[in-house]
Structure 1
Amino acid sequence: MTQTRTQTDPDRALKAKHAAMWAMGDYPAVATEVIAPLGPALVEATGVHRGDRVLDVAAGAGNAAVPAALAGADVVASDLTPDLVETGRQAAAAAGATLRWEVADAEHLPYADAEFDAVLSCVGVMFAPHHQEAADELVRVLRPGGRLGLLSWTPEGFIGRMFATMKPYAAPPPPGAQPPPLWGDEGHVRTLLGDRVTGVDARRQTLPVRRFADGAAFRDFFKRTYGPTIACYRGLADAPDRAAELDAALAALGDDALREGTMGWEYLLVTATRA
């Protein structure tokens, strides 16, 4: 098996922190109650079919891995967070899907070169802090002629705006870490992948979200379920005035996005073929 670079102690510490963040709250509730349609859309766009060897990177609760397995593919679902791997394993079993679940770092995938026919990530790999290292691994484990499918929130879309709203209240990122919504910028993704892929198709699409009656309901749901939001508020535990400011800002963001009971959450769907 090939690794792109050697992991350092600071890198391991950063990944442990990331794993702990995503174990906070109840991310599977986000996956099942809000963004469930994204996984099947990614699987369909990538052309996953029976017999394919498929890797879902940063699989979370299995939004893409489970529908890929139900389509008859031989699926490995990998994620940095052991809690999500276990929750995903249980959810897959309940759905009647057979697949392997493994703890793995998107920047140091424990798989052989060219091992998979398709590699997917549904709003997952975008949260790996070092974008080029993650992109290199996605391409490395994909066979020539294999299909890559990536779905990421855009910087200008609702979730990108949510991260921008939280940024002044959050701890600064570690040196070298890049903003997750950059994966929702077509030019950035094309640069990451370079000439190692062909036939790149990038489409901005919108997920209709009807889960929230108003901005406050959106804010409170994310404060309860979503690791990055929970971590941001924990950092404000000794600054109640700042936490109240963030409360108001997130509620206003949600209210501004609602149109007749529906929010539109924009994402970028990228498919490509390994050269």
Structure 2
Amino acid sequence: MATNPNKALWEKGDFTRLAANMRGSGEALVATLGITPGLRVLDLGCGDGTTALPAARLGADVLGVDIASNLVAAGNARAAAEGLGNLRFEEGDAADLAGLADASFDLVVSIFGAMFAPRPYDVAAEMVRVTRPGGRIVMGNWIPGDPTLVAQVLRISAGYTPPPPEGFVSPVTWGSEAEVTARFVAAGVPADRIMFEKTTYVFDFPGPPVDFVAVFRDYYGPTMNAFAAAGDRIGDLQAELEALFTAQNRATEPDRTLTHATFLKVDVRR
């Protein structure tokens, strides 16, 4: 079986270093989902548990699935450290959840996770398949062309990276309402059960913007690939990112970077 290129992408860096600056928004988002004790939750593309741990703390029975073995290990370590016996992490591919039974979850969550998986129509079909009738799917997806931080990091990075292979579908197409609707309708969900809301994620980093750029450069797969491919344009890439992070910083303290990133919240009623 061919190796999923996303596995190499997300194992190349260490997303836990970036996720550490996203915990507050993860908890705030989970708090809006109406999670109750015993609810069966799948967190798809879960990373090291930015949303899975808050869901488990509320009493849900949570399975986190991620393509990257290092993030699965980090998530299991975090769950063990908190004594969360109702949370476990395992490796898996969002486009092929073969090990998971039909209709086995009340809620499927994927925040900036499944959007990066290849074959988006397969991803939508799998999320629908494993959600029970009457259940719910919630996604958070970065928006193409959005002026806020992460969409711009992805745009800038793409400008320094070789063209993608033929047939590649950009992850940020998951931030298009029309694209998302088409994918879930193809998976059997009526269009009137697919709802959208633009909302905000906050990154709160304990250092100046130039240091936060370094976290993306050293640990975030897409940015790492851009630096590896930039060649003699590496200084331009660094300068472009530093200008972006400085412009988007809302913090008033010199040793803090506070940035807001707009995303599309997708809410599908099964």
TM superposition score normalised by structure 1: 0.87
- Tell me which of 228, 236, 241 is aligned to 2:222: 228
Please tell me whether the aligned partners of residues 45 and 149 of structure 1 are also in contact (alpha carbons under 8 angstroms): no
Q: Is the counterpart of residue 27 in structure 1 residue 15 in structure 2?
A: yes
CA deviation after TM superposition for structure 1 residue 163, in Å? 0.8
- Tell me which of 56, 76, 88 is aligned to 2:75: 88
Please tell me whether the aligned partners of residues 59 and 65 of structure 1 are also in contact (alpha carbons under 8 angstroms): yes
- The answer for the alignment partner of 2:255 in structure 1 is none
What code does the residue aligned with 1:61 have?
Answer: D
In structure 1, distance between residues paired with 2:162 and 2:25:
29
Q: How does 1:126-275 map to 2 (within 5 A)?
A: 126-155=115-144, 156=146, 157-194=148-185, 196=189, 198-211=192-205, 214-236=208-230, 239=231, 241-261=232-252, 262-274=258-270
CA deviation after TM superposition for structure 1 residue 67, in Å? 1.3
In structure 2, runs of 5+ residues without a counterpart are 253-257
CA deviation after TM superposition for structure 1 residue 41, in Å? 3.3
In structure 2, distance between residues paired with 1:41 and 1:142:
23
What code does the residue aligned with 1:228 have?
Answer: P
Superimposed CA distance per residue, residues 200-230 of structure 1 (whole angstroms, 9 cap, x where no aligned partner): 3321112233326554223212112212211
Superimposed CA distance per residue, residues 44-68 of structure 1 (whole angstroms, 9 cap, x where no aligned partner): 3332211111111111111111111
Residues 196/74 of structure 1: CA separation in 2 closer, same or farther (3 Å cut): same
- The answer to which of 82-91 and 197-206 deviates more is 197-206
Please tell me whether the aligned partners of residues 22 and 202 of structure 2 are also in contact (alpha carbons under 8 angstroms): no
Percent identity, aligned pairs only? 35
Residues 54/174 of structure 1: CA separation in 2 closer, same or farther (3 Å cut): same
- The answer for the alignment partner of 2:90 in structure 1 is 102
SS of 1:271 mapped into structure 2: strand
CA deviation after TM superposition for structure 1 residue 179, in Å? 1.4
- The number of equivalent residue pairs is 258
In structure 1, runs of 5+ residues without a counterpart are 1-8
Q: Is the counterpart of residue 49 in structure 1 residue 27 in structure 2?
A: no
What code does the residue aligned with 1:271 have?
Answer: D
Residues 210/42 of structure 1: CA separation in 2 closer, same or farther (3 Å cut): closer
In structure 2, distance between residues paired with 1:260 and 1:67:
26
SS of 1:102 mapped into structure 2: strand
Residues 187/169 of structure 1: CA separation in 2 closer, same or farther (3 Å cut): same
Superimposed CA distance per residue, residues 156-179 of structure 1 (whole angstroms, 9 cap, x where no aligned partner): 032111111111211222222211
In structure 1, distance between residues paired with 2:171 and 2:25:
17
What code does the residue aligned with 2:199 have?
Answer: Q
- The answer for the alignment partner of 1:122 in structure 2 is 111
- The answer for the alignment partner of 2:57 in structure 1 is 70
CA deviation after TM superposition for structure 1 residue 18, in Å? 1.6
What code does the residue aligned with 1:230 have?
Answer: M
In structure 2, distance between residues paired with 1:159 and 1:43:
20
CA deviation after TM superposition for structure 1 residue 235, in Å? 2.5
> Considering only aligned residues, what root-mean-square deviation do their CA atoms show, in Å?
1.8
SS of 1:196 mapped into structure 2: coil
In structure 2, distance between residues paired with 1:210 and 1:105:
29
